[in-house]
A and B are shown apart, each in its own frame.
Chain A
Amino acid sequence: AQSVTQLDSQVPVFEEAPVELRCNYSSSVSVYLFWYVQYPNQGLQLLLKYLSGSTLVKGINGFEAEFNKSQTSFHLRKPSVHISDTAEYFCAVSVPLRNTDKLIFGTGTRLQVFP
């Protein structure tokens, strides 16, 4: 079975500071990795995905993430955050070898950006 751990439930940061949201996963088979963002009263929006290839993945809104197979991590980073980045961020995995699109999510990290 697969699982996803987001170590930080909340991350407070000042505007224009860098931020890292941590994600670790557990799986005995290869997985695809995703980061989604959820703004209040909205659904989830895909930030970026890792399927294969380069371990550094660039996404929308200036976010990037790095896949580290040995540490089973997929941390999300942004060099300079804005107030508008305040939202809930979810890391998720899917298993490509199985006949399903099912996503397994972490518990989420609430990013709060202060002026």
Chain B
Amino acid sequence: KAGVTQTPRYLIKTRGQQVTLSCSPISGHRSVSWYQQTPGQGLQFLFEYFSETQRNKGNFPGRFSGRQFSNSRSEMNVSTLELGDSALYLCASSEGQVGSQPQHFGDGTRLSIL
């Protein structure tokens, strides 16, 4: 089985732009979660989708949004980019049975804001 695939792996943007990151979960997985990883704040939960519905949301501003498609693929969008948005963005998928099945992570998208 292919693992979680995130594209692109690296991205460079400037302040004020917007960006869309993509995540393809493991085949059969219906739950997709997004995390932001920075040296200062560590790993922080952004949001979680299950069957195209947002199931949970972290404490991030409205500039951060996401969606999930009928094939379970997910995208996250960040608008009006700020320098502080520079981070590794990780996507994780699971079968969807809450908590009992571990999340499998992709290699992430490293976003750099100039």
Instruction: Tell me the A residues contacting B by CB distance below 8 Å.
Output: 32, 34, 36, 41-46, 49, 51, 90, 92, 94-96, 98-108
Give the size category of B's interface with A. 20 to 34
Q: How far is A95 from B92 in the complex, measured between Cα atoms in Å?
A: 17
List residues of B (80-114) whose CB comes within 8 Å of A's CBs: 90, 92, 94, 96, 98-100, 102-108
Total A-B Cβ pairs within 8 A: 68
Given contacts A46-B104, A101-B48, contact A94 B99 (CB under 8 A): yes
Residues in A with CB closer than 8 Å to B90 are: 43-44
B22: Cβ under 8 A from any A Cβ = no
When the two chains form their complex, are residues A101 and B104 in contact, meaning their CB atoms are under 8 A apart?
A: no
When the two chains form their complex, are residues A32 and B45 in contact, meaning their CB atoms are under 8 A apart?
A: no
- Which secondary structure dominates chain B's binding surface? strand
When the two chains form their complex, are residues B106 and A102 in contact, meaning their CB atoms are under 8 A apart?
A: no
Which 9 pairs between the two chains have the least Cβ-Cβ distance?
A43-B105, A96-B99, A105-B43, A100-B56, A44-B105, A43-B107, A94-B99, A46-B102, A107-B42
When the two chains form their complex, are residues B33 and A102 in contact, meaning their CB atoms are under 8 A apart?
A: yes
Given contacts A49-B102, A95-B99, A96-B99, contact A41 B45 (CB under 8 A): no
Minimum CB–CB distance for B104 against chain A, Å: 7
B21: Cβ under 8 A from any A Cβ = no
List residues of B (21-65) whose CB comes within 8 Å of A's CBs: 31, 33, 35, 42-43, 45, 48, 55-56, 58
Minimum CB–CB distance for B60 against chain A, Å: 13
When the two chains form their complex, are residues A42 and B107 in contact, meaning their CB atoms are under 8 A apart?
A: yes
Q: How far is A108 from B88 in the complex, measured between Cα atoms in Å?
A: 15
